[in-house]
């Protein structure tokens, strides 16, 4: 008997393609000199916003299953997390390579003296082991309980990302507050579930 096709076979390819659309738009705007008066700032803001958006979406996958009984977001969780890391890396590389011209001393000075950059850098550093251990092979190598404990760092990363965004904006804090609320709600749901099943 042939294997049953997975439900919604278009889901992962569709999300993957959709996640790359913002990058394609940015590349198109850059190629046609349409990034505005401050293209570096625009790229920094867009990549950072995308990283936090995908991170929040990653954290909402399990709460969606708990509250709504949806299982399809779980199949997207790894991909969403990797896209969060991808855009966070682009955010940092735009800052370090384009904005600071790979001046390591200036980057280190910014990290040590500007709190919002320090918090954002810590979030990126914590995302590295999460990305490196995202494969099934690494789950087997670490063992699921240890892997699960490691990937709880995602919530810390989310909190750091929201703080980074909040400290970065100078006036309108509505979007950072929304992100903080979403991430806080996801964490609260997981904590309640953990206490309920003790």
- DSSP letter for each residue of 126-165: HHHHHHHT-SHHHHHHH-HHHHHHHTTHHHHHHHHHHHHH
pLDDT at 7: 58
pLDDT at 194: 80
Kindly state the tokens that stand for 129: 């082991």
Beta-carbon count within 10 A of 75 CB: 15
Closest by Cα among 56, 75, 55 to 65:
75
pLDDT at 6: 54
- Residues of 101-120 as b/e, b for ≥16 C-beta within 10 angstroms? eeeeeebeebeeeeeebbbb
- Residues of 43-52 as b/e, b for ≥16 C-beta within 10 angstroms? bbbbbbbbbb
Burial of 19 (0-12, 13-18, 19+ CB in 10 A): buried
Q: What is the CA radius of gyration of the chain?
A: 18
H-state helical runs in 32-143: 39-68, 72-93, 104-113, 115-132, 136-142
pLDDT tens, residue order, the chain (198 aa): 444 445 578 899 999 999 999 999 999 999 998 888 899 999 999 999 999 999 999 999 999 999 998 889 999 999 999 999 999 999 999 999 999 999 999 999 999 999 999 999 999 999 999 999 999 999 999 999 999 999 999 999 999 999 999 999 877 899 999 999 999 999 999 899 888 766
Closest by Cα among 75, 65, 97, 82 to 19:
82
Element (H, E) at 30: helix 11-31
pLDDT at 2: 46
């Amino acid at each position: 008997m042939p294997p049953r096709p997975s439900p919604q076979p278009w889901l992962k390819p569709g999300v993957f393609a959709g996640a790359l659309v913002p990058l394609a738009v940015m590349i198109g705007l850059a190629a046609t000199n349409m990034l505005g008066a401050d293209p570096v700032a625009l790229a920094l803001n867009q990549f950072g916003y995308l990283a936090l958006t995908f991170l929040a979406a990653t954290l909402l996958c399990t709460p969606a299953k708990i509250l709504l009984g949806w299982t399809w977001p779980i199949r997207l969780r790894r991909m969403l997390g990797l896209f969060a890391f991808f855009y966070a890396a682009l955010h940092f590389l735009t800052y370090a390579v384009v904005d600071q011209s790979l001046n390591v001393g200036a980057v280190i000075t910014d990290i040590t003296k500007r709190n919002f950059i320090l918090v954002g850098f810590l979030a990126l550093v914590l995302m590295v082991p999460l990305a490196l251990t995202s494969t099934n092979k690494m789950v087997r190598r670490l063992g699921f309980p240890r892997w699960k404990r490691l990937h709880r760092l995602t919530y810390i990363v989310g909190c750091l990302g929201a703080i980074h965004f909040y400290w970065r904006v100078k006036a309108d804090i509505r979007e950072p507050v929304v992100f903080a609320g979403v991430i806080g709600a996801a964490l609260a749901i997981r904590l309640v579930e953990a206490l309920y099943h003790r």
